[in-house]
Amino acid sequence: MTQLEPTEAPFDAVMSVLGIFFFDDMPGFVRRLWGWTRPGGRLAITVLGLSFFDPMRAAFVEAVREVRPDVEVIEPWRRTDDPATFAAVFEGAGVSAEIETEDERLPFGGGDDWWRIVMGSGLRRTAVALGDDAAEVRARCDRFAEDNGVREVVLQAHYALARRAD
């Protein structure tokens, strides 16, 4: 993405979904995207919030710490999970943006649902690093869900929208 030079710029709309937190220089990345936006155009950036499939994410992190304290749970989205921190990225880029937060409550059917989320999200890297111990972490998460009657998880997202003046 840092090497991409669009052949047709500027654009009516530029979007980044769940990607900005991977950049060391997040304000610089926002400035780059903003530069691709034409007058009257929009820049939209989405990041994950503090609640990432909670309460199951918290149970997963705890289980990893108990089973394999040597394995770090990698959560790059934590760099922008606070709305004020996310807003500061735009301020640092010199871009005025409106930021909204939304909590999505999703039905949760138990351990199999959770492990599909783990393996289909940024938590997969940690699960793979666990090797054979992943089975124990999964079992602990299953017990947590059952013991606590978890029937839904919360996924929070922050949405930023910046509009260029005409």
- Residue 83's pLDDT is what? 94
Mean pLDDT, each 10-residue run in order, the chain (166 residues): 75 93 94 93 96 95 98 93 95 97 94 93 95 97 97 96 92
pLDDT of residue 164: 93
Asked if residue 2 belongs to a domain, the reply is no
Strand partners, 160: 45, 99
**What φ, ψ does residue 12 adopt, rounded to 5°?**
-65, -35
Counting the structural domains of the chain, the total is: 1
Residue 6 belongs to some domain of the structure = no
Is residue 140 situated within a structural domain?
Answer: yes
Residue 1 located in a structural domain: no
The CATH number of residue 86's host domain is: 3.40.50.150
159 Cβ contact partners less than 8 Å away, ≥ 6 residues apart? 44, 45, 46, 99, 100, 101, 102
Q: pTM for this structure?
A: 0.86
Q: Is residue 73 part of a domain?
A: yes
- Is 4 within a domain? no
> Which amino acid appears at position 16 of this protein?
S
Do residues 74 and 122 make contact, with C-beta atoms less than 8 angstroms apart?
yes
Helices assigned H by DSSP within the chain: 26-35, 56-67, 83-93, 111-119, 124-130, 134-147
Instruction: Report helix, strand or coil for 105.
Output: strand
SS3 (DSSP) at 142:
helix
Domain containing 129 equals 11-163
